[in-house]
Amino acid sequence: MVYGTWVNGEPCDTISAADRGLSYGDGLFTTILVAKGHCCLIDKHLKRLQDGIKLLGIAQIDFALLIEQLTARARALDNGVIKVVVTRGEGQRGYSSKGCVSPTVIMTASALPKHYQQLRQAGISVGVSTIPLGLNPVTAGLKHLNRLEQVLVRQQIDQEGWDDAIVLDCQGFIVESNLANIFWVKEKQLYTPSLELAGVAGVMRDFVIEKAKGLGIAVNIDRYRLGSITDADEIFITNSLMQLVPVVKIEERNYELGQLSNKLAQAVVVEEASD
């Protein structure tokens, strides 16, 4: 296994103090599971990066080169995590992005946390965060570098001793968990929040929705209040690294490891090879 950090393709663990990713969170990222030397769901990760770069008006990067580098890093890593960060690059003082034509591409390769497999099997307990997410239809769905809301929610999770937390928007609608997208099952139908106003459109979320529809499971996407999930039959969260993890407790209420969740888990989970 080869761990490390590369900036614009070169081994390096520093960036310029003038980089707009540092000054303004001006960029986006994606985090890729590597299993048996391959980047899982790579097409979805690349499309999300491309769409985000276009939306933010960042100068285009060399995706052919990025794919080449990802392929080489994944082979060397075998099993683990590759994170790709794209910033607008260096700029002058102030918000204007004029003259920013050289994006910064940061790639890191690291180990996959060992407890993720256990979480998939045993499930997690979550709370409900009191810290709301703001609404912005322009940046909703993007995995951008402005993650202060998530940092504050994580502080609350650590203080309360939860595994994770359900996060609501400032109007009281469910958005996601702090770590992942969230789904629930009621009367054999699947539900997940709309991400048109807030939240991250996860690649595993997209994959789960595809698989569910392929299995003939009805998928409902809308804005839902907290009561919609607390009386669910099954609940689970998804992201590209943990994949599909059942929720077994929300505050004082317990939930079963359900059949539909297990069915979807079997359809989407990529088991990493043993070291």
Contact present, 16 and 86 (Cβ < 8 Å): no
How would you classify the pairing of strands 104-110 and 4-7?
A: antiparallel
Measured in residues, the chain has a length of: 275
Which DSSP category does 230 fall into?
Answer: H
Report, as residue numbers or ranges, the catalytic residues: 31, 143, 176
Sign of the Cα torsion 28, 268, 265, 109 reads negative
Instruction: Report whether 249 contacts 126 (CB < 8 A).
Output: yes
- Rounded (5°) CA angle 161-268-216: 115
At residue 19, what is the residue type? D
Q: Please tell me the distance from the alpha carbon of residue 257 to that of residue 39, in angstroms, as a whole number.
A: 29
211 DSSP 8-state letter: H
The amino acid occupying position 34 is V
243-250 vs 253-254, strand pairing mode: antiparallel
Q: For residues 45-66, b (16+ Cβ closer than 10 Å) or e, as one string?
A: bbebbeebbeebebeebeeeeb
Strand partners, 193: 222
**193: nearest Cα among 157, 233, 165, 229:** 229
**In the 8-state DSSP scheme, what is residue 58?**
P
